[in-house]
Each structure stands twice: as structure tokens, then as C-alpha cells.
Amino acid sequence: GVFVAGSHHLDIRLGGLNTAILIGSSLTMALAVRGAQLGNRKTLVRFLVLTLVLGLAFLGVKAVEYHQKWVHHLVPGPGFHLEGPHANEIQLFFSLYFAMTGLHALHMIIGIGLILWLLPAAARGRYHAQFYHPIEAFGLYWHFVDIVWIFLFPLLYIAK
């Protein structure tokens, strides 16, 4: 019904692109953890940087999506404007969309901040085969945030 109607106002191509970006970032994060486990500083740093770049790319795509919603007056509140009999219900859909994707984006920003915090120590060789647990723990956080998106994408973008 109305949830499906609201999802038709989302750009599945941008949501799909962000899904691919996050799947790629899970790979780069796993490779960073593996680099730390093997004591390969260069590999660790390289893949942390790639994970950072992919995280920033995700946020960039999300910013484009949010801008599109703003331009088309689909941000809930006094500026929301949509013609049709179910406009109020679709506004509720967008309230949920912004709450869920906004909370996800906040966790991505936190993850990016953590990468920026881990990178200098990684570059100095602080993490190695005998001490890589902070990288591994952060990897679990990053994968969890990625998995949340794997549920949000079909829920919001391909509702049937």
C-alpha cells in the first residue's frame, strides 16, 4: 500500500550503488583486519584508507539522495508537498526513511571518525600480528553497520 507508494519516490539506482559501495567496504575492512593479523602494516593502512574512501563515498551518495528529497519537497515537515490521496501517509514513510537512514549515516560518520583515529597508530606500526584486536573489534563494528544497510535497502527501496 502506502509504504510501497512511498518507496517509489526513492532512487533504487542510488540505493543500489550505496549497497555495492558498502559491500566493497566490508571487503576492504576484512582485508585491513587480515593485514593487521599478518603484521603487514602497508596492507593494513592501504585497506583502512580504502575503507575510509568507500565510507565517504557512501555518505556522498546519501547526501545526493537527501538533496533530491529536499528539492522535491519530500522532507517531512512544513515544507513537505506531495499531491495525492495518501500524501500524509507517504510523509510518514519519509519520516521513517530519514530516521532510519539518518541513524545509519550517523553510525557511518562514527566509523569514519574511528578509522581516522586508528590510522595514525596503524601507520606507526602499533598494530601487528601479536596486537591487532582494536582493528578486529573496529572491523566488527564496520561490518555490523554494513549489515544494517543490507536490511534497510530492501525494506525501503524495493518494498513490494
Q: How confident is the model at residue 1, as a pLDDT?
A: 81
Residues in a beta bridge with 128: 131
What integer pLDDT is reported at residue 128 of this predicted model? 95
For 19-33, how does the pLDDT look when each residue is reduced to its tens digit (9 = 90+)? 999 999 999 999 999
Measured CA to CA, the distance from residue 95 to residue 92 in angstroms comes to 5
The reported pTM is 0.94
Q: How far apart are the first and last CA of the chain?
A: 8
Read off the pLDDT of residues 48-84 as tens digits, 9 standing for 90 and up.
999 999 999 999 999 999 999 999 999 999 999 998 8
